[in-house]
Amino acid sequence: MSSFWSAWIIIISLGSVFGCWWLLYATRKSQTSNTETEETTGHTYDGIEELDNPLPKWWFYMFLATIFFGLAYYALYPGLGSYPGLLGWTSTNQWEQEVEEADAEYGPIFAAFAEKSVEDLSKDPAALKVGQRLFANNCAICHGSTARGSLGFPNLTDSDWLYGGSADAIKQTIGHGRNGNMPAKGLNPAMSKSDIDDLTNYLLAFSNRAEDKASSERGAAMFQTACAACHGADAKGNLAMGAPNLTDNVWLYGGTPSMIKQTIEFGRAGVMPAHNELLGEEKVHVLSAYIYSLSQGK
């Protein structure tokens, strides 16, 4: 805030307070008595006259008290332009203080959870309730509140994992994030439209949806040169790279022919943000247990 605007605010704020004070004193008027009189203000409504009798004194003092309160508030808190106030209060301070209080209150609970392994924690109903709430607040916006994902966001309740469904892999994914990258046209930038159609037919053949057998055989050959490096020669994917299994019927970016074509032609880039610095490791630990529990028995 420039010093001009700071001064501008200070003048208006203090001016209002002192304006109230001045008004209070300026409207005291000369009377010949300080008791109830028959003097009127000159207002009449429907023949009812407004008397002009003195206010109770304690009201007057209460008014003064509010003025002093206002001045004290201006002195203690930041209100006058860029003046920071005696207490040094800021909203950031207050937020940090409240976070500290919350950590002091809930810290022991998370510390107790942190001592257990993810596998054990995934059988602890109390931890799962906490995990479910953490999930609703931090993950559900992309993965859905039932963790079933949607277009571009993986389903976390099935047994199909891009980076592995072990407790450690899940914890790694949540804590450190993932950057999935499917390059456009794979390793073959010279891929033509008809090549893409062939590839698509090859992939649809896994779920018996291929329309043209010859085309899907051409696609199989193309797959080995352009795609197999990541997705594997058998197209079963690669957990180390996060390359999806293309032989099952789980499609992160849609399994219709047109969507598969789009994925091949333009590539895909999926980002799972790292949550260790956002939530802290203890909460990530509890979340991992919750996610781990969702896919058990699937």
Give the residues lining the site for another protein (CB under 8 A).
27-35, 53-60, 129, 132-133, 136, 140-142, 144-151, 153, 249-251, 254-255
Q: How far apart, in whole angstroms, are the C-alpha atoms of residue 274 and residue 167?
A: 16
State in angstroms the smallest separation of the CB of 86 from another protein: 23
Contact between 242 and 250 under an 8 Å Cβ cutoff? The reply is no
**With respect to another protein, which residue has the nearer C-beta, 91 or 249?**
249
Nearer to another protein, 83 or 153 (CB): 153
Burial of residue 79, with CB atoms counted within 10 A of its CB: 0-12 exposed, 13-18 middle, 19 or more buried: middle
Intra-chain end-to-end CA distance of the chain, in Å: 59
Q: How far is the CB of 135 from another protein (least distance, A)?
A: 8
Give the Å distances, CA to CA, from 20 to 13, 29, 83, 167, 229: 11, 16, 22, 66, 79
Is the CB of 80 or the CB of 286 nearer to another protein? 286
Amino acid letter, residue 96: E
Q: Which is nearer to another protein, 83 or 251 (CB)?
A: 251
SS3 call for 221: helix
Q: Which is nearer to another protein, 57 or 193 (CB)?
A: 57
What's the closest the beta carbon of residue 150 comes to another protein, in angstroms? 4
Q: How far is the CB of 237 from another protein (least distance, A)?
A: 16
Question: What is the nearest approach in angstroms of another protein to the Cβ of residue 33?
Answer: 7
